[in-house]
């Protein structure tokens, strides 16, 4: 295993984390502790996954509410549309907007097991791009204008009206979506998402920096302009590696798989996962990645260690304030565009 040391990067590296809604009561309080630690590190946003076909609708919303109420970090809601009618999807989007969420990861989602692509179950919305459009439409109806009085200007000229900006991220697939027939199809899908109004991309996990860098080059050449964050997952056990390959459809990275299999101790395996993710993060940053999106598995130490080792973390911010209040955190900056 290659050892990496932390030399702080000279430029600010924006980063974000992905969490999933907890499944038990005990996991709820553990997740709150994790969120406090991750928020204290100053991420651009904390994204919360959405169970296939809406299975985690209320638990996802509860996690997003916790982030809104206890931190100043922007919460990002993953939403899927497969199987929904237009009306159902609009109601869902309204519910999240009304809770105060202004960042979304718009996904089509997977059809339930046993249902083939194209069957009627798929509902009214057939791609993530259509969900992006719908989020923009609902947001325009739903998010109220705020009025700010500009001192010194009389009447209507002294009142500025503006709406909160909405950030809409979409998924990208450096190694192709498991169902896509050609690389060009994945790039065309990204272009369609951009045309629909998406302003940020987040990639599926990948294991070699070239997978990401080649994908970005292709996307740029085709005209995709929004920033695309590399999705990086520290894989800290052979069991986790098997599970995520099953879920993502990615190919087995033989080098990492062998290292994890031959290492007998959990501590050693964790070190292998951290070192691998750190090296990957450094390589994509050196190749021009606009930031890092880390799959946190609802635990903070591993992802914070990866950021620390690649010099992206300001260690002064690592500990959450003992009395939490929104004002005790630095105001979040928006390094990625919103509209
Ligand atoms: P799309 O990008 O719309 O389509 C996927 C692929 O299908 C495209 O790349 C393209 O190859 C093909 N395609 C799409 N439209 C067309 C077309 N018109 N013609 C031909 N081919 C087409 N799933 C969840 O259930 N919950 C989550 O919280 C979740 N979070 C995720 C987070 C990230 C960062 C990523 C990368 C994936 C996540 N997923 C999640 C998985 C996602 O639901 C699956 O990838 C799903 O199979 C497709 O959704 P999509 O938004 O990628 O779809």
| Residue-level pLDDT at 318 | 62
Q: What are phi and psi of 239, to 5 degrees?
A: -65, -45
Strand-pairing partners, residue 293, are: 16, 231
Q: How far apart are CA 62 and CA 76, in angstroms?
A: 12
Per-residue tens of pLDDT for the chain, all 339 residues: 444 556 778 788 999 999 999 999 999 999 999 999 999 999 999 999 999 878 889 999 999 999 999 999 999 999 999 889 999 999 999 999 999 999 999 999 988 777 766 666 678 998 999 999 999 999 988 887 888 888 888 888 888 888 777 899 999 999 999 888 888 999 999 999 999 999 999 999 999 999 999 999 999 999 999 999 999 999 999 998 998 888 888 888 888 999 999 999 999 999 999 999 999 999 999 999 999 999 999 999 999 999 999 999 876 566 665 433 333 323 333 455 554
Cα 186 to ligand 1 centre (Å) = 10
Q: In 3-state terms, what secondary structure has residue 155?
A: helix
C-beta 108 within 6 A of ligand 1: yes
C-beta 328 within 6 A of ligand 1: no
C-beta 54 within 6 A of ligand 1: no
Cα 181 to ligand 1 centre (Å) = 14
Q: Where are the alpha helices (DSSP H) in the chain?
A: 25-40, 57-70, 86-98, 128-142, 183-196, 209-222, 238-248, 254-262, 266-286, 300-309
Q: How far apart are CA 42 and CA 20, in angstroms?
A: 19
C-beta 184 within 6 A of ligand 1: no
| Residue-level pLDDT at 58 | 94
Q: How far apart are CA 307 and CA 315, in angstroms?
A: 10
Task: Tell the residue nearest (CA) to atom 7 of ligand 1.
Answer: 180
Cα 128 to ligand 1 centre (Å) = 7
Tokens of residue 239, six digits: 């069991």
71 closest CA partner among 51, 50, 55, 48: 48
Q: How far apart are CA 208 and CA 211, in angstroms?
A: 6
């Amino acid at each position: 295993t290659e050892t990496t040391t932390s030399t702080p990067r000279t430029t600010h590296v924006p980063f974000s984390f992905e969490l999933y809604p907890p499944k038990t009561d005990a996991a709820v309080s553990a997740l709150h502790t994790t969120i406090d630690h991750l928020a204290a590190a100053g991420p651009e946003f904390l994204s919360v996954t959405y169970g296939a076909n809406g299975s985690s609708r209320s638990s996802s919303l509860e996690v997003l509410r916790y982030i809104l109420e206890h931190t100043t970090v922007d919460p990002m809601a993953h939403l899927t549309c497969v199987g929904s009618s237009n009306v159902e999807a609009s109601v869902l989007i309204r519910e999240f907007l009304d809770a105060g969420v202004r960042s979304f990861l718009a996904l089509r989602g997977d059809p339930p097991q046993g249902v083939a692509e194209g069957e009627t179950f798929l509902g009214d919305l057939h791609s993530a791009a259509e969900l992006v459009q719908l989020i923009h439409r609902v947001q325009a109806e739903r998010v109220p204008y705020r009025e700010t009085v500009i001192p010194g200007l009389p009447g209507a000229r002294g009142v500025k009206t503006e709406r909160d900006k909405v950030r809409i991220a979409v998924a990208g697939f450096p190694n192709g979506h498991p169902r896509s027939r050609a690389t060009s199809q994945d790039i065309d899908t990204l272009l369609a998402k951009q045309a629909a109004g998406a302003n940020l991309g987040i990639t599926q996990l990948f294991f070699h920096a070239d997978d990401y860098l080649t994908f970005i080059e292709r996307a740029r050449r085709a005209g995709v302009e929004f920033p695309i964050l590399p999705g990086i997952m520290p894989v800290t056990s052979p069991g986790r590696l098997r599970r995520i390959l099953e879920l993502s459809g990615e190919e087995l990275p033989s080098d990492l798989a062998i290292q994890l299999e031959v290492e007998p101790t959990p501590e050693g395996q964790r070190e292998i996962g951290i070192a691998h993710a750190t090296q990957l993060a450094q390589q994509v940053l050196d190749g021009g990645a606009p930031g890092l999106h880390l799959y946190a598995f609802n635990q903070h130490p591993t992802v914070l260690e990866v950021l620390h080792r690649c010099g992206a973390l300001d260690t002064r911010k690592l500990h959450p304030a003992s009395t939490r209040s929104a004002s005790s955190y630095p105001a979040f900056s928006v390094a990625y565009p919103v509209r």
